[in-house]
Amino acid sequence: MTLVFDVPRGVAFVSGGLSGVQRRSSASVAYWLVARPPGSSKRHFKGGVSSLSLQTEVSRRAVLRTLVLLPVAVAMSSQVNAATATGGTATGSGTSLGSEVPVPPLPYPYNALEPVIDAKTMRLHHDKHFVGYVTKVNAALTEEQRKTFPSILTRLSTIPDRTVRETVRNQGGGAINHRVFFEIMRTPVADAQRNTPGGALGDAINRQFGSLAAFQKEFTQAAKTLFGSGWVWLYEVGKSPRRELKIGTFANQDSPLMQGNMPLLGLDVWEHAYYLRYGPDRGAYVDAWWRVVNWPAVEKIFETRQLP
């Protein structure tokens, strides 16, 4: 079905058979519109718009004509989304952005991880890649869903629209993976051997893997051999008193959260994480990375079971 909505300010939004229009609430006249540019299978744009008036049901020819407006609609949709942060609800006039998934600043200067990770890589990684993931997951989620981030990643299957679900999986995974990643690094210690976890986490690693060295060997091996882009995580499975630690590789931006497990320590092995300094030598990056692991931050996640 093809619908054209007339939003306040006279801008036409088009959903010309490109995707669905969902009525989100029977109590309010509120719709979400998802538009996908012709020829694109990946990108999607979403505007939460309240108090829409259904203008007309249009003919195929009119749709073709209206599609010319799509770039305008796409550009406007993000503005409308920002202007009506409560988009899709009956109180769509709100402008609060308080529910946005945040972009925490790096907890250290860009050059703090030198020489293990260079300042330029950190700047691009945080300000471009991370910001990009967060921006895109915010655009994909409703205000109510944003409030549940990152726990919504533990129940992706409840997101009915396949395109939205995939966006939340990829961009939302990127948002939480990087949030944790930046937090669990710090200025390098001179001797990687001396950078060790303590407390309950240190005990748990020894219990699970035999020793810290055995854990690091297995984790390092996983990072060096992961094919393509992805992550290696130390994560926790199960509930007390049967909490167990595991090492796992995750493709793309998948996260242990998506399996209902708690991420603790993650290593980004996407090329954008190391290529400027290390080129194709991922192994050198992985080996050096142990010097910047902020074990106290990992211990805090383990003990509080709270992500940063």
Written as six digits, the tokens of 269 are 């092995």
- Note whether 268 binds Mn ion by CB under 5 A: yes
Written as six digits, the tokens of 163 are 């395109």
Least CB distance from residue 65 to Mn ion, whole Å? 42
Please tell me the count of residues contacting Mn ion according to CB under 5 A.
3
Residue nearer to Mn ion on the CB measure, 141 or 267 = 267
- Note whether 100 binds Mn ion by CB under 5 A: no
In the chain, the amino acid numbered 17 is G
Q: Which region holds residue 10: left if phi is over 0, alpha if psi is between -120 and 50, else beta?
A: left
Least CB distance from residue 125 to Mn ion, whole Å? 6
- Note whether 254 binds Mn ion by CB under 5 A: no
Residue nearer to Mn ion on the CB measure, 273 or 301 = 273
Stretch that binds Mn ion, among 59-67, 182-190, 212-220, 271-279 (CB under 5 A): 271-279
First to last CA, the chain: 43
Stretch that binds Mn ion, among 113-121, 148-156, 235-243, 273-281 (CB under 5 A): 273-281
Task: Output DSSP code: residue 102.
Answer: P
In the chain, the amino acid numbered 245 is L
Rounded Cα distance between 194 and 32, Å, is: 53
Stretch that binds Mn ion, among 48-56, 246-254, 267-275, 289-297 (CB under 5 A): 267-275
Residues 6+ apart with CB under 8 A from 276: 118, 120, 121, 124
Buried-exposed string 86-118: b where 16+ CB fall within 10 A, e elsewhere = bbbbeebebeeeebbbebeebebebebbbebbb
Tokens 């290529």 sit at which residue? 275
Rounded Cα distance between 167 and 51, Å, is: 26
Stretch that binds Mn ion, among 223-231, 255-263, 269-277, 278-286 (CB under 5 A): 269-277
Least CB distance from residue 254 to Mn ion, whole Å? 13
Restricting to residues 13-72, name those near Mn ion by CB under 5 A. Answer: none
Q: Closest residue to Mn ion, Cβ-based?
A: 268
Residue nearer to Mn ion on the CB measure, 270 or 275 = 270
Residue nearer to Mn ion on the CB measure, 11 or 269 = 269
Which residue ranges make up the site for Mn ion (CB under 5 A)? 268, 270, 273
